[in-house]
Amino acid sequence: MKNDKKEYKQKDFYFEHKEKKYEVVHERIIEGAKLHFHDYLEGELILEGETIQYINDYKTHLKKGSFSLLRPNIDCHSIDVSDIDIFKFYIKPFIVDEEIWKEVSLLPNPLTVELSEEELEHAINLFKILYYEQTLNGKYNELIVKNTLNSLLCLFIDKKLGQDDNTVKRVSIINYLLENDRYLTDVSLQDFAQDFGYSLSHASKYFKENAGMTFSEAKQFFRIQYAKRLLLSTDHSNNEISSMCGFNYYPLFHNLFKKSTGMTPFEFRKSNK
């Protein structure tokens, strides 16, 4: 694997699009990168060396065994000048299982965990499988890639949940919206309060404190994420997707989508196809 590694000077960019559904690289990074974000999910596993990374407003110290995730159109990040040996994957979210992607979307910043020696060895082996499979085009290649990516993300989620007790509560609350795709219905904060036995005011405060957003903001967030998936993986029209995502008024969907992503639904689909 060492012979396949390349030296890589990261360019300054704000938004980058990957043509492939997924890509895995093993490289030595010898320079940093200014603040930027992606339209794909990026995973970083540090094999050797140390550096400082900023994810949104969070400063994280990366070293051997650090495993980070950067979510598409959500997480802006930059990295200091460094000399690190690193595995990276770049994937389109629709490749992995939807439930796993929902869990990743809910995790609070910073999305970095520290792996034990045993966990690091396991993660490296999974990266090696991905690295090898991307060179093939066999009958079961896509299935192997998907299962391996799911395993990597599950490793990250389990580690993150184990390191942060508040995350467990956060995921439990948000799962109320995800269960049976409630976020696509007209479910309200009042329904949440009634189902959990809270007063309306306590439910509002409790949800925001533990989820990091209001009930309506959470509904909107998951509707927009679902819309992205539909835009990338189906041929439904924008109006149809608006309706499928629970928006009865297309201009509202159009405006909220642009506010969330910086692009109209049409521009998002065109730039990611």
pLDDT for the residue 167: 61
pLDDT at 10 over 50: no
- Per-residue pLDDT band at 19 (split at 50, 70, 90): low
The number of residues making up the chain comes to 273
CA distance 23 to 17: 12
Question: Residue 211 corresponds to which amino acid?
Answer: A
Encode pLDDT of 88-106 as tens digits.
998 877 678 887 887 887 7
Say what percent of the chain tops pLDDT 70.
86
Beta-carbon-side half-sphere exposure of residue 256 (alpha carbons within 13 Å): 22
pLDDT for the residue 4: 42
Q: The dihedral of CA 255, 258, 263, 266: what is its sign?
A: negative
pLDDT at 9 over 50: no
DSSP 81: S
